[in-house]
Amino acid sequence: MVTLRSGLLIGAFVGAVSTEAAPYVAYVGGVPVHSPSPTAKILVFDVATGATANVSEGLWSARAPAWSPDGTRLAFEAIEQGLNDLFVCAPDGSGRANVTQTPDRWETAPVFAGDDRLVYLEGPDRTHLWLANLPSGERSKLTTSPAFHGPPVASPGGTRVAVVAGEKLAGAGDILVIDLTDGSVRNLTEAPALYSPPAFSPDGTGLAFCFDGREIGGATRGLAVMPAVGGEPKLLATDGYPLAPVSFSPDGTQIAYTSSDAYHNTWVTLIHADGSGKQRLDVSPAHIIGWPSFSPDGKLLACQAVYAARYTIRLVELSTGEARIITPEGETGVNPVFSPR
């Protein structure tokens, strides 16, 4: 178990970490919990300076931050007029553009597939998956049959996306992998269950995910890995929480995931990719901790945590166990995502 110490000055903490490798953390602020709220906004924390920028100022219900592979742009969903649109901007919020401009359609959950393409969901119930070429503005539908989809996840290199799709909203589904070069779709699980958004390993050969409701390795709930081309999944742990994403370390040797003995008592846990070395992060005095995201050098971990009924974002230095709240005083924060560089 790693014990995290609080009470550090933010300037001293920021100066002690590698700012070149981990420059930004994007997260959703302005919400007390995960519920969709018109006050939700996208905040970006600069690890080098400790400054926080509101990159969605003037928009409503901003959510789902996602970085481009080169770390120079951030995509997110928000309402400008009408329904949800998708926006792209620099880490400081400059150059912000509405890249869909469809007030009559609902677009959500963007992810970069390479530096110039976005994959996202369209429809009030995340019905179809789309691909947009940002320089040309061309769009193409990736799915042929409507389904309820979770957030898509792009592979390294942006040639494939993985997504959980099911017949019922918030119900059991399967993990699909879509090849963006030929449009082929492969069902990797063929056993509907509650699955977290999967994470590609850094080399693109594997997927990690939490699950609940099917059997893997003799367990009906836990954390598992499987080949990204399909194959038998391998159980790593029996305490995986399927409602939050998992994160691979940049070298692929560790996985950070949200673990839970009960659904309202969650923790961030680290485990080696072979299932060994499991350790829980004790972010004292917080509880209900989750949504981990590794920094590009693997030395830091961002996560969300609750204390005194308020979500905040914690930045953890893994070598020392030191942690600090990076949300501004009085601000809330959920769903942190480290920039890739």
Tally of CA atoms within 13 A in the half-sphere of 15 that contains its CB = 5
**Given this model, what pLDDT does residue 282 score?**
80
**Per-residue model confidence as pLDDT tens digits over 46-77:** 999 999 999 999 999 999 999 999 999 999 99
pLDDT, tens digit (0-9, with 9 covering 90-100), for 171-227? 899 999 999 999 999 999 999 999 999 999 999 999 999 999 999 999 999 999 999
State the burial class of residue 338 (Cβ atoms within 10 Å of its Cβ: 0-12, 13-18, 19+): buried
How many other CB atoms are there within 10 angstroms of residue 251's CB atom?
12
> 53 and 61 in contact (C-beta within 8 Å)?
no
Residue 30's pLDDT band, with cuts at 50, 70 and 90, is very high
CATH 3.30.830.10 fits 2-338, yes or no: no
Burial label for 231, CB within 10 Å (0-12, 13-18, 19+), is exposed
Q: Mean pLDDT across the chain, nearest whole number?
A: 90
Categorize the per-residue pLDDT at 20 as very low, low, confident or very high, splitting at 50, 70 and 90. very low
Phi, psi of 144 (to 5 degrees): -105, -30
Q: Is residue 34 scored above 70 in pLDDT?
A: no
Per-residue model confidence (pLDDT) at position 2? 36
Average pLDDT over residues 70-89: 95
Predicted local distance difference test score (pLDDT) of residue 224 = 98
Query: β-strands 2-3, 279-282: how paired?
Result: parallel
pLDDT, tens digit, for every residue of 108-164? 999 999 999 999 999 877 789 999 999 999 999 999 888 999 999 999 999 999 999
What pTM does this model have? 0.92
Would the pLDDT of 5 be above 90?
no
Domains of the chain, residue spans = 2-338
Question: Does position 10 have pLDDT exceeding 50, yes or no?
Answer: no
* Tokens at 49, concatenated: 């300076």
pLDDT bracket for residue 336 (50, 70, 90): very high
pLDDT at 21 over 50: no
CA 120 – CA 56 distance, rounded (Å): 18
Q: What sections of the chain are H helices per DSSP?
A: 10-16
Chain-centre distance for alpha carbon 127: 20
